[in-house]
Amino acid sequence: MTGSRVSILQTFLGLGIVCQLSLCTEEPMLGMTAPLSTTSDYDYSSVEVAEVDYDEFVEQCQKEDVRSFRQSFLPPMYAVITVLGFLGNSLVVITYIYFKRLRTMTDVYLLNLALADLLFLFTLPFWAVSVVKQWIFGQVMCKTVYGLYRLSFFSGMLLLMCISIDRYFSIVRAASAHRHRSKAVYCSKIVSVCVWLFSLLLSLPEFLYSDQKPSGSGMLCKMNLDNSTIVFTAGTQLAVGFFIPLMVMLFCYCVIIKTLLLARNFEKNKAIKVIIAVVLVFLLFQLPYNSVMLIDTINDVNATVTNCDFSKRMNIAIDVTKSLAYVRCCLNPFLYAFIGVKFRHDLLKLMKELGCMSSEKLLKYTHVKAWSSKRGSIATDTDSTTTFSP
């Protein structure tokens, strides 16, 4: 009896185990959540490996050809500008100092303009050496040369503007200019001092932020600027160094031409030609550089240039147009000083005393110029530097 009970109990236990095994192997019931897959069940065949697009990487722009162009173009160009500009402006300074003839406002402005050009020319040999080799003059000279370069640039442009304003009052406002003739020279000296001080103020970023920096080819003298300082320096150069002088010159010379057209004078056509030459030279030599510099500043601030070829073309364009703008230092003596009748007389006397001209040639030239000057003059001021220049 007992054995039959044990066999019955074993039978029920076996059935229960079979039922449990069948429940574990069945599919999940509807409405139940399936268990999460383990890592061993993950189907790696569905994974796509991302391919690296190496074209998206920005390669460093190699500018060996730009450096080669600079080394072959800039030093000879700077040498020619320095020699010619130094000769012309030195003659202006020596003539004014030797004869002590600062009699008009224009004389004072022309002397200061020649000094500004000489100061500007003083910096060019340093830049020429740095292009050929590297900056070898040290940190102090880097700040000094950079600051003097900017100081002479701003002062030269502002003095050109002052000359046009003086010519405007001398010709268009001749009566009032003659009444204040005794105070004119003193006022021009005050204005010249203010021009130099204002130019020094605008040049402070160059004195403060210029520094020598190591590069792949050696040491460079550069400006350490952030975007805001770049915008400020470029903005002041464009405004004070180009747009404002240009607008003042256009206004003054347009009114002067209108006045000359109404005047009855033999030499008015020569005066108009000189005025047109002055304006055209200013535009031809300054407009390209300022336009390229504006584009380059916008690109630097916005970081929009990613094409290496375009960057190289911009570098070459800056070098060429900048050299073209520097030529004005050679032309200023011819456009503003040498064209004056009285200045030419003094220059010829100086050449004679230096032994570069005989007395016969001096008498011949001065006689011809004196005869032509008697035929008429548009300037009411008899001590004006020139009788028909703007």
Decide if 239 is inside a domain. yes
Q: Which two tokens stand for residue 105?
A: 């406002």
Band the pLDDT of 200: cuts 50, 70, 90: very high
Q: pLDDT band at 327, cuts 50/70/90?
A: very high
- Inside any domain, residue 5: no
Convert the pLDDT of each residue in 205-243 to its tens digit: 889 888 888 877 678 888 887 767 777 888 888 999 999
Residue 36 forms part of a structural domain? no
End-to-end CA distance of the chain: 144
The owner of tokens 């100086």 is 350
pLDDT in tens, 335-359: 887 777 777 777 777 777 776 666 6
Tell me, what CATH number does 231's domain have?
1.20.1070.10
> Regarding predicted confidence, which is higher, 176 or 119?
119
pTM recorded for the entire structure: 0.76
Asked whether residue 114 is assigned to any structural domain, the reply reads yes
Mean pLDDT of the residues in the chain: 77
For the chain, what is the domain count? 1
Task: Tell me whether residue 48 is in a domain.
Answer: no
Output the CA–CA distances (angstroms, integers) from residue 383 to 231, 340, 379, 387, in the order listed: 44, 11, 9, 9
pLDDT surpasses 90 at 192: yes
C-alpha 244 chain-centroid distance? 15
Q: Has residue 46 been placed in a domain? A: no
Of 166, 165, 162, 142, which is closest to residue 154 (Cα–Cα)? Answer: 162
CA–CA separation, 120 and 87 (whole Å): 14
Q: Which domain holds residue 225?
A: 63-373
Position 298 in a domain: yes
Q: How far apart are CA 307 and CA 216, in angstroms?
A: 21
Higher pLDDT, 337 or 4: 337
Could you tell me the pLDDT band of residue 2, with boundaries at 50, 70 and 90? very low
Tens of pLDDT along 113-157?
Answer: 999 999 999 999 999 999 888 899 989 999 999 999 999 999 999
